Amino acid sequence: MSTGLGDNEIISRVLKGEQNAYAELVNRYQAYVFTLVLRMIKSREDAEEVAQDVFIKAYRSLADFRGESKFSTWLYTIANTTSITFLRKKKLDVHSLDNEKVFEAADSKDSGFRANLVEQKSRVNMVNEAIAMLSPDDAEIITLFYKAEQNLEEISRILRLETNTVKVRLHRARTRLKEKMEKNFSEEVKNIY
């Protein structure tokens, strides 16, 4: 049940010992964190585990949250580092901005059943599918910008990059997403344009 309290108020309650108040923060941000992690990691089971780990780590370090940024920005920074650590452990290629192999792999994985399903898919599903085909870096930046309500400065803080670099990366990610949609959902895209 939502308390209607602001994030900072809930945090001070938790810091004063009201551990149960943390559940409100988990409820509030679980879908955002889970979506972000899932789009980087691509596996639902692993994403659930990593997302839980993110909230546990955030709880442990809650005393270090100084309120200089939004709680969500701080939380997504933890989500970003935890996901990258997970991917490194799994030896997946997270630095794949210019790695065409990732795209080729995603294409071959999805193209087999795409033709039969394309007509049944709603626009929303189409976007989600297209984002799932992107590399972890591209999917993360698009999710942070469109779904996690983070502006360019906040994203630069989360990813520890310059704002201009974030701008360029976002532009590239959107271009790749557009290409993915045109390539894999050509019929639907025609109807949209």
Partner 1 sequence: MNQEQNIEQQLWAYIDGISSNEERTSIQKMLQGNLEWKNKYHELLEVHQLMNSAELEQPSMRFTKNVMEEIAKLHIAPATKNYINKKIIWGIAGFFFTLIAVFLIYGLSQVEWTSATDSKPSIDLSRLSEVDYSKIFNNNFVNGFMMVNVLLGLVLLDRVLANKRKKFQKQA
Chain residues in the site for partner 1 (CB under 8 A): 14-15, 19-20, 22-23, 26-27, 30-32, 34-35, 38, 47-48, 51-52, 55-56, 59-64, 123-124, 126-128, 131, 142, 146-147, 152, 167, 170-171, 174-175, 177-178, 181, 192-193
CB of 158 to partner 1, least distance (A): 17
Helices (H), 90-185: 100-117, 123-132, 136-142, 152-159, 163-184
In terms of CB distance, is 3 or 175 closer to partner 1?
A: 175
Buried b (16+ CB within 10 A) or exposed e, 137-175: bbbbbbbbbeebebebebbbbbbebeeeebeebbeebee
CB of 10 to partner 1, least distance (A): 13
Q: Are 166 and 152 in contact (CB under 8 A)?
A: yes
In terms of CB distance, is 14 or 84 closer to partner 1?
A: 14
CB of 174 to partner 1, least distance (A): 7
CA distance 33 to 82: 11
Q: Are 78 and 53 in contact (CB under 8 A)?
A: no
In terms of CB distance, is 84 or 148 closer to partner 1?
A: 148
CA distance 74 to 185: 36
CB of 123 to partner 1, least distance (A): 6
In terms of CB distance, is 75 or 91 closer to partner 1?
A: 75
